[in-house]
């Protein structure tokens, strides 16, 4: 089995069309057809079947696609490991951090890391936790700092600290005019992250578990830094880490909605691939987070 055939197979499977795959790979269609034939002869079974004008994977093809991606990820990590070992350098870190805590955690953490290892390089990716976890699983990131909601057999985690997320509104919002219940939140509109984000799923589940309509989302955004200003200016409800609320410079314009049902206690963790390679730099950062993770967040709160 040729690794190039697996690379071609993965592209064909992703696009579901031989012609588009040939164009993307800069190869002829007959060459790709022969590549697939070699794989099918090697495994003794069909990997694709026709679907309209395109093609789709058979059940065996889907299994091979999963294994192929794992193999290519292992090869890429082996290249990084050998290159780091041969060059003798500390290496590079590809770090993802959930947007809800990046401003609090990263400045002091990065400063401490660079004091200890001034020659490392960092690629920082700030985003929503669902996309960060997917990038970690696929090997595009070395580690991710984010809330922990469900386990993943392919990832291992270390808890850094506990925090809380709460419903917030502008200080003069009518929700504060009278004693409130959870069902009263259904009368107002919200600004929230997308439905794949763990915090959004949690708040949706709170309403579902109480047999209430889901929050009426008027604005959906993946930019956490916008939320405090949107809440203050629009009168929409939202859901934020309490530390974000405490640190926001316009705190005088925002206020927590004090309902026990909507106060979410969560663990903030650092995630790595269970069997993945960590460069010396990434391992150094992981050790630093394990020993001082909470301290960095506290230092950020004090700024």
Fold classification of 3-79 is Arc Repressor Mutant, subunit A (1.10.10)
**Average pLDDT, integer, range 89-114:** 83
pLDDT-based confidence at 227, cuts 50/70/90?
Answer: confident
Locate CATH 3.40.190.10 in the chain.
Answer: 86-161+270-299, 163-266
Percent of the chain with pLDDT over 70: 89
Q: Kindly report the average pLDDT of the chain as a whole number.
A: 84
pLDDT score, position 48 = 87
Q: State the burial class of residue 259 (Cβ atoms within 10 Å of its Cβ: 0-12, 13-18, 19+).
A: middle
pLDDT score, position 86 = 58
Rounded to an integer, what distance in angstroms lies between the CA atom of residue 93 and that of residue 80?
11
Domain 163-266 sits in CATH at 3.40.190.10
Q: What is the DSSP pairing of strand 238-241 with strand 254-256? A: unpaired
Is 70 exceeded by the pLDDT of residue 300? no
Euclidean distance between the first and final Cα of the chain, in Å? 57
Using alpha carbons, select from 138, 168, 193, 159 the residue that is nearest to residue 250. Answer: 168
pLDDT score, position 13 = 87
7-47, pLDDT tens digit by residue? 888 888 888 888 888 888 888 988 888 988 988 888 888 98
Rounded to an integer, what distance in angstroms lies between the CA atom of residue 68 and that of residue 65?
5
pLDDT-based confidence at 302, cuts 50/70/90?
Answer: very low
CA distances from residue 181 to 36, 140, 176, 256 in whole angstroms, order as listed: 61, 44, 11, 14
What sign does the dihedral 264-267-268-273 (CA atoms) show? negative
Is 70 exceeded by the pLDDT of residue 301? no
pLDDT score, position 247 = 56
**Average pLDDT, integer, range 214-235:** 85
Is 70 exceeded by the pLDDT of residue 2? yes
pLDDT score, position 298 = 59
Is 70 exceeded by the pLDDT of residue 278? yes
pLDDT-based confidence at 154, cuts 50/70/90?
Answer: confident
Looking at the DSSP bridge assignments, the partners of residue 238 are 168
Q: What is the DSSP pairing of strand 121-127 with strand 54-57? A: unpaired
* Residue 78 near residue 127, CB atoms below 8 Å: no
* Residue 77 near residue 276, CB atoms below 8 Å: yes
Is 60 exceeded by the pLDDT of residue 89? no
**Average pLDDT, integer, range 52-74:** 82
Query: Which of residues 6 and 214 earns the better pLDDT score?
Result: 214
Q: What is the DSSP letter of 22?
A: H
Crossing angle of the two packed helices 198-209 and 129-137, in degrees rounded to 10: 120
Rounded to an integer, what distance in angstroms lies between the CA atom of residue 246 and that of residue 13?
48
Is 70 exceeded by the pLDDT of residue 255? yes
Rounded to an integer, what distance in angstroms lies between the CA atom of residue 90 and that of residue 113?
12
Is 70 exceeded by the pLDDT of residue 51? yes
Fold classification of 86-161+270-299 is D-Maltodextrin-Binding Protein; domain 2 (3.40.190)
Locate CATH 1.10.10.10 in the chain.
Answer: 3-79
Looking up tokens 């009278």 gives 178
162-203, pLDDT tens digit by residue? 888 899 999 899 999 988 899 999 999 999 988 888 888 899
Is 80 exceeded by the pLDDT of residue 244? no
pLDDT score, position 144 = 95
pLDDT-based confidence at 303, cuts 50/70/90?
Answer: very low
């Amino acid at each position: 089995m040729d690794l190039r055939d697996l690379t071609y197979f993965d592209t064909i499977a992703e696009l579901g069309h031989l012609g588009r795959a040939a164009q993307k790979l800069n190869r002829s269609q007959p060459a790709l057809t022969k590549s697939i034939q070699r794989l099918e002869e090697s495994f003794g079974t069909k990997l694709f079947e026709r679907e309209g004008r395109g093609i789709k994977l058979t059940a065996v093809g889907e299994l091979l696609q999963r294994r192929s991606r794992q193999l290519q990820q292992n090869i890429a990590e082996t290249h990084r490991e050998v290159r780091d070992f041969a060059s003798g350098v500390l290496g590079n870190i590809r770090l993802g951090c959930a947007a809800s805590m990046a401003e609090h955690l990263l400045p002091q953490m990065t400063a401490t890391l660079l004091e200890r290892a001034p020659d490392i390089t960092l690629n920082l990716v700030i985003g929503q936790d669902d996309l960060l976890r997917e990038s970690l699983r696929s090997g595009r990131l070395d580690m991710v700092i984010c809330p922990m909601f469900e386990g993943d057999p392919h990832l291992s985690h270390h808890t850094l600290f506990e925090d809380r997320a709460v419903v917030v509104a502008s200080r003069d919002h009518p929700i504060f005019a009278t004693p409130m219940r959870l069902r009263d939140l259904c009368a107002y509109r919200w600004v929230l992250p997308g439905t794949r984000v763990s915090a959004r799923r949690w708040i949706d589940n709170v309403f579902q578990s109480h047999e209430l309509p889901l929050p009426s989302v008027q604005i959906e955004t993946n930019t956490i830094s916008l939320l405090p200003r949107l809440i203050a200016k629009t009168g929409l409800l939202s859901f934020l880490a309490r530390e974000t609320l405490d640190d926001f410079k316009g705190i005088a314009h925002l206020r927590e909605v004090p309902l026990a049902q909507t106060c979410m206690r969560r663990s903030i963790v650092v995630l790595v691939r269970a069997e993945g390679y960590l460069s010396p730099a990434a391992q150094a950062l992981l050790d630093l987070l394990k020993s001082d993770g909470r301290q960095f967040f506290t230092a950020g709160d004090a700024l």
